[in-house]
Amino acid sequence: MKKISSNKVFGGEHAQYTHWSEANNCEMTFAVFLPPQMDDLSELKKVPSLYWLSGLTCTDQNFMQKAGAFKRAAELGIAIIAPDTSPRGENVPDDENQAYDLGLGAGFYLNASEAPWREHYNMYDYIVKDLISDVDEHLNLSTSRAISGHSMGGHGALTIGLKHPELFGSISAFSPICNPTNSPWGKKAFSAYLGEQQDTWLQYDACHLLEHATEPQAILIEQGSADDFLDEQLRPESLMQVAQKSGHSVQLHLREGYDHSYFFISSFIEQHLEFHAKYL
């Protein structure tokens, strides 16, 4: 890991790092917020962390600069880890039409099996293996973790969190793609990255994973009623139907008048930090 930038904020530190990813076969950049408790030598307990996964077109910096999370995270003593949304670099393929919802900035937090994507687009393994491993090795954090995200990153938070309750004790999401096998964004990405065998898509669909989950997990979803993508792309009602049938507890807050933007996220991020603090 190499630190490439650092800023003091609310008594803690916001920093960017680069490191090599075996999963993505390239250098990756991620950001961290380390709360002021990290500098307290009398504090014997390592601080817990929240992993934040961002959405389409974003990088590691969108959440850090727009969400307004640092003040409450500093008060609660929670570190924040924000990876990039896809591999990048000269040899990393992009969509030939440079579409915003495929290729660079649109990794969808899965392991690609189709050419030309499979050599680099393995964001699932990157999060679960490379990123957590390097963070655990180089930063003084506890193994108590939560995961959250927005839109495509909300999809990633739900699927990775549901598949790895041993890594993440709680899950939350803002405007997540809840049922990507039945949404245009999901169908386009899964067809390109995973091929046309749709049974392989289910391993990255939160509805399918929740239906077959064997361990109860704390899950909170925030959704704006004025979100332009709500009905066609996000489909939170599908996840709630599965939760009701399978007996899993999922909290859904439908916020009147809020849209898909970081104005929405910044309005409720403190409540999500407080939600995770109960489990960290």
User: Any idea which residues carry the catalytic annotation?
Assistant: 151, 227, 260
The first and second tokens of residue 194, run together, are 């995973």
- Name residue 15's amino acid: A
Phi, psi of 196 (to 5 degrees): -90, -5
**Pairing of β 47-53 and β 79-83:** parallel
In contact, 81 and 125? CB cutoff 8 Å: no
- Using DSSP's 3-state secondary structure scheme, residue 215 falls into coil
How far apart, in whole angstroms, are the C-alpha atoms of residue 223 and residue 9?
A: 29
**Pairing of β 79-83 and β 170-174:** unpaired
How far apart, in whole angstroms, are the C-alpha atoms of residue 43 and residue 12?
A: 15
Number of H helices, E strands in the chain: 9, 9
Q: Which of 47, 13, 14 is nearest to 31 (CA)?
A: 14
Report CA-CA distances (Å) from 273 to 74, 104, 279. Answer: 10, 29, 10
Q: Which residues contact 14 (CB under 8 A, 6 or more apart)?
A: 6, 7, 8, 31, 32, 33, 64, 70
How far apart, in whole angstroms, are the C-alpha atoms of residue 169 and residue 46?
A: 16
Sign of the alpha-carbon torsion through 97, 98, 102, 107: positive
CA atoms within 13 A on the CB side of 108: 30
